[in-house]
Structure 1
């Protein structure tokens, strides 16, 4: 199970990598036109729309990225299956479709289906699509249906599977959504404690997409709170209105960047540059715009315990801000742009204390994250299990069939792949081919068949047997090209 969630985390890094740039584009756009949000500046509108094209479609990016990353051979047909899965479920569970399926007016459809296009649905779509692809991409149908065999069958089976998933969620989703709304209404009566509980569950529910149900209770006029609307319209109570927003500023602007610094410092030395590029961009996006998905999804599945700690700290932050009646608000998210805009509003109460609170939370996140990552050896970016195993020294005298360094790049990768694949036992023994940054991550049926000397003769850096069926071949930073050639060898 741990390995499965780590694979999810690695697969999510593909779509997550594009988010910081999108968030920065939106932030610059809002900075250019803070009041009109693009309505008064064509340059701002251009940047905001370009960034929102990615941010607003995060769920479909998750569906495609996960289906590709979790598939056995990283084929484009797997990505297509992910897209098909997402389109099927979001169409079947749209308000119009639900109204037809239930024979009711659109206005009578549960509000749960108004937010069906969320990250959870994207993740479910990607995982189901990958499972269907891995199961059916080599399936052979009778001659009359042969055209639909193999990889063409995967999207078809995916669509059928998502029909089943959609029918289940048709009945389950509204119940869960309504339960969260009721829960939110209850804790809203608890004052600062309620704000803290809301902050905790807000972060905890992010992976499921059900945080929208909770947000609707506190931010909008579902239970009479309407925290965002009242704050910006100056129709609330100073020091109280904004209590369900203010505590997010210390977390998004300071806390998560502190956690990012901890993840950078605990990354492997040879991974620090790669990790730094992601963490710097993601931290800037979080601080400037309040878009935290690039940071949160970088460790959400790879290190769930760390995400739980993040949720707890978010709850504490909202509790502290609400207790001392420090308030600020946001129209987009809790970043610098919204902080500056809201600080001048009449209902903002001692907002700059949130900056001081944020500095404290930066330190808390850094030291807590660093301690937990090291203590429990968590697989945050740059610290995968595949990077912790001791490497086996290369035996230079293993064979005379080493790959010549003078050979062309493509020929070199192809020859390396052939030698490694043959040494692993070929089609009869190799079941899965995958790779991380520097290693081939392989599954075999019988480890006794593996010829280590032959594999080492390919000029690789080393071999690591992880378990009875899992083996890693350390190739280096060009591992992707060797993996691609090995995939071509599979019959």
Structure 2
């Protein structure tokens, strides 16, 4: 069950990866016309509407993206099945269709069906469609029906299965909807404290890869919060009453001080506490990782460098992240992102009408830089933690000195060698920063040596291995696939 949830979490990154396009388009539009938000400038409206086309169809993107992401061979037929399934479900469960099927007036239909086109339904449809693809994509029909065999069969099967699923959802969805809305209201009612609690668990779940699933509840319209689309929609959300300046963005804003500044303070602490003979290599590694964190918000190269060797520091990191979200939400310092909380997204969101006092996040970030540096350095020295550059002589878990210099092919070749070779490797996949490998026996993986070449290695089960590579992971995955 745990590994299956990880698989769903990984697949969620496929549709989420589209969000930067929306952020860029809408960010440019708000820059061009920061006052009327497209009302006084046709070019601004062009960009804002183009980005809005993505945001307004996130539920459909989830259905297609998750179906594709969870399919066994990443084939377009799985994505087509997701599209077919979503259209069947949302058509049969539209208020008018439900009223006709149940023989009642439209105004007597549960309000849940007015919200049937939401990311939760999209994810559900995507998961079912992917499972149908994995089961039926190689089925061969009798000769008279051969044309419809294999991958062509999947969308057909999906359409019939979704008819049955729609019938079940007709009675189950209102209960699910009420539960999700109740959860969302409960979090909203906690205000800044709820944002802080989310921030804490967001970081705490990174080691097991379930933070994407948690984030979907707060960032999208799974429980009625929908923080990212509401923020990116800007003036439209304000006009529709789905966004409030100083409030919308509270599940995003507090990440900027952590990713742009806090973890840089931690990286500096690692450099200053490294042994003299290791200081140069640790400085090189941390500068590269810090650059990625500051500009793009990709923090895993830094986080995995101390996550397992100094778990007490990681818990402190999670607590400080929660505190940062709480402070930003309490002070109504708001900014949003389409990818992650780095400088690029901060600049893009600065023209958004919902970005209130966003510049104060830079001040907060400077404070968190000092807090991280002082806290991490003090604890490292006091308890002699084996953070990067402080390993004992002969310790094989040294920092990944070669990761930043090696080519993608070199990294792929080293990974293949150290996970047990071709004979041990069953399946290759990746998310935003990690290789997600299925192996025959994870005990054959040379963790210690692998960590000399990559930021981190995780073994969720006896047949699963996650290798943290960084933003270039897709290129490494492609090279690895060529090798096998």
Considering the TM-score relative to the shorter chain, is it more than 0.5? yes
What CA distance in whole angstroms lies between the structure 2 residues aligned with 1:51 and 1:32?
14
* Alignment deviations for residues 107-161 of structure 1 (CA, whole Å, 9 cap, x no partner): 4433333333333222222221111111111112233433322111111222233
What CA distance in whole angstroms lies between the structure 1 residues aligned with 2:29 and 2:348?
10
- How far apart are residue 205 of structure 1 and its match? 6.4
Say whether residues 1:213 and 2:230 are aligned partners: no
The change in CA–CA distance for 1:278 and 1:89 in structure 2 (over 3 A counts) is farther
Say whether residues 1:197 and 2:231 are aligned partners: no
RMSD: 6.1
Residue in 1 that maps onto 2:417: 391
* Alignment deviations for residues 333-371 of structure 1 (CA, whole Å, 9 cap, x no partner): 996777777699xxx8x98766544554677799999x9
What CA distance in whole angstroms lies between the structure 1 residues aligned with 2:373 and 2:113?
38
The answer as to whether partners of 2:136 and 2:151 remain within 8 angstroms in 1 is yes
Task: Give unpaired runs (5+ residues) of structure 1.
Answer: 220-226, 234-240, 284-293, 396-419, 425-429, 448-464, 487-491
Q: Secondary structure at the match of 2:173?
A: helix
Residue in 1 that maps onto 2:456: none
The answer as to whether partners of 1:250 and 1:358 remain within 8 angstroms in 2 is no
What CA distance in whole angstroms lies between the structure 1 residues aligned with 2:438 and 2:161?
28
What CA distance in whole angstroms lies between the structure 1 residues aligned with 2:353 and 2:413?
45
The change in CA–CA distance for 1:388 and 1:172 in structure 2 (over 3 A counts) is farther
Say whether residues 1:480 and 2:478 are aligned partners: yes
Residue in 1 that maps onto 2:49: 49
Aligned counterparts, 1:234-253, within 5 A: 244-245=247-248, 247-248=250-251, 250-251=253-254, 253=256
Q: Secondary structure at the match of 2:428?
A: strand
Residue in 1 that maps onto 2:233: none
* Alignment deviations for residues 209-239 of structure 1 (CA, whole Å, 9 cap, x no partner): 55553579xx9xxxxxxx9689999xxxxxx
User: Number of aligned pairs?
Assistant: 381
Q: Secondary structure at the match of 1:128?
A: helix
The answer as to whether partners of 1:329 and 1:338 remain within 8 angstroms in 2 is no
The answer as to whether partners of 1:177 and 1:210 remain within 8 angstroms in 2 is no
The answer as to whether partners of 2:261 and 2:369 remain within 8 angstroms in 1 is yes
What CA distance in whole angstroms lies between the structure 1 residues aligned with 2:161 and 2:266?
38
The answer as to whether partners of 1:246 and 1:321 remain within 8 angstroms in 2 is no
What CA distance in whole angstroms lies between the structure 2 residues aligned with 1:148 and 1:6?
33
What CA distance in whole angstroms lies between the structure 2 residues aligned with 1:25 and 1:99?
39
The change in CA–CA distance for 1:199 and 1:433 in structure 2 (over 3 A counts) is closer
- How far apart are residue 331 of structure 1 and its match? 11
- How far apart are residue 29 of structure 1 and its match? 0.5
Residue in 2 that maps onto 1:30: 30
* Alignment deviations for residues 361-386 of structure 1 (CA, whole Å, 9 cap, x no partner): 677799999x9xx99x9xxxx9xxx9
The change in CA–CA distance for 1:164 and 1:255 in structure 2 (over 3 A counts) is farther
The answer as to whether partners of 1:58 and 1:119 remain within 8 angstroms in 2 is yes
Q: TM-score scaled to structure 1, two decimals? A: 0.55
The answer as to whether partners of 2:197 and 2:322 remain within 8 angstroms in 1 is yes
* Alignment deviations for residues 64-108 of structure 1 (CA, whole Å, 9 cap, x no partner): 333223222222212211222222222233333333333333344
The change in CA–CA distance for 1:80 and 1:282 in structure 2 (over 3 A counts) is farther
Q: TM-score scaled to structure 2, two decimals? A: 0.56
Q: Secondary structure at the match of 1:434?
A: strand
* Alignment deviations for residues 9-50 of structure 1 (CA, whole Å, 9 cap, x no partner): 444444433422331121110111123222221111222222
Task: Give unpaired runs (5+ residues) of structure 2.
Answer: 203-212, 231-236, 271-281, 339-344, 380-385, 388-396, 398-402, 404-411, 443-458, 467-473
